Amino acid sequence: MATNTENIFTFIDTFAATNNEGLYLESVIDACNRWLSGEQLPQLTATVSKEEIRRGIQLAVLKGMKQQVQSHHQMTPDAIGMLIGHFAAKLVQEESVTLLDPAAGTGNLLFTVMNSIGDNVSAFSVEIDELLVRLSAVSADLMEQPVHFFVQDALRPLMIDPVDMVVCDLPVGYYPDDENAVNFEMMAEEGHAFSHHLFIEQSMNHLKDGGYGIYLVPATLFESDQSDILHKYLKKNAVIRAVIQLPDSLFKNAVHEKSIMIVQKPSEQIVGKRDVLLTKVPNLSSKQAMSAFLQRFDEWVEE
């Protein structure tokens, strides 16, 4: 018997296969809108979870991205998203949580984190690509997740109130708009600034005092060009809580390896030791090792 996730993917994929009027990803949006309106429905059990909806749509989006190859159409792998979701759920203390993803893409990472935290969570999503925003918006509607969407360059001024937590799979590369980049502390003295540096700075500006930022960063973040600028900025404006190396097996090439960095915005309430958690995620296929790793992380948060 097929699962809800499989039935959702089949529903969307079948519609897209018979809809010759548009591209696959456009058809994904059309299928989801028909589902929302009740015009056509997937075969579901009485109880369908938000995670089942997210995963079913994600499978269709991944298929569409393979057909419509674009360099900026990349989705955060589920294994990494679930890890960040676990970290986020353990770190938040507020009864009502607000999130920001300044490079949301299709929203897959943001929704994974929201689903992990559970109830009483709302979010702001910023993405410059209108198609990705439309995919994200229809997914949010189906999951009944309260998300405010902004279609813009996230490094331009954001009309967003401070949030409890930022989660972001940082866009890596150079930011071409030097005229705008000069407004940031991490603007390079020569040449273009790194966009992933500026995204950290921009999101820190929109964090509440004591709030957390959880970033998916290049494994070589602190060894690359302009790392001295990043060190100086973080020392002044943030408390680095953890740098967690991801398993090599998740990446086809060592150049693409990434880590998870957790920072906290300073506040008067932050006291005690500021030791940085430096660790590596074990092989994800080992349930026992992963369970022990997550338990150690949970104990670290409690301390």
Q: Cα-flanking dihedrals φ and ψ of residue 126, to 5°? A: -120, 130
| Helices 78-91 & 108-117 angle (0-180, nearest 10) | 40
Element (H, E) at 54: helix 50-67
Name the CA dihedral angle for 55, 246, 83, 93, rounded to a multiple of 10 degrees. Answer: -150
- pTM confidence score: 0.94
pLDDT of 48 reads 94
Which CATH architecture describes the domain 78-302? 3-Layer(aba) Sandwich (3.40)
pLDDT of 252 reads 84
List, in sequence order, every beta strand (DSSP E) within 137-237: 147-151, 163-169, 174-175, 193-194, 207-218
For residue 139, CA distances in Å to 38, 60, 219 come to 15, 12, 31
47 Cβ contact partners less than 8 Å away, ≥ 6 residues apart: none
pLDDT of 24 reads 92
d(CA 90, CA 53): 23
pLDDT of 225 reads 85
Element (H, E) at 80: helix 78-91
The one-character DSSP state at 162 is -
3 state DSSP class of 217: strand
pLDDT in tens, the chain (303 residues): 789 999 999 999 999 988 867 789 999 999 999 999 999 999 998 789 999 999 999 999 999 988 765 545 578 889 999 999 999 999 998 889 999 999 999 999 999 999 999 989 999 999 999 999 999 999 999 999 999 999 999 999 999 999 999 999 999 999 999 999 999 999 988 889 999 999 999 999 999 999 999 999 999 999 988 999 999 999 999 999 999 999 988 888 888 899 999 999 998 877 545 689 999 999 988 999 999 999 999 999 988
d(CA 199, CA 205): 10
pLDDT of 69 reads 55
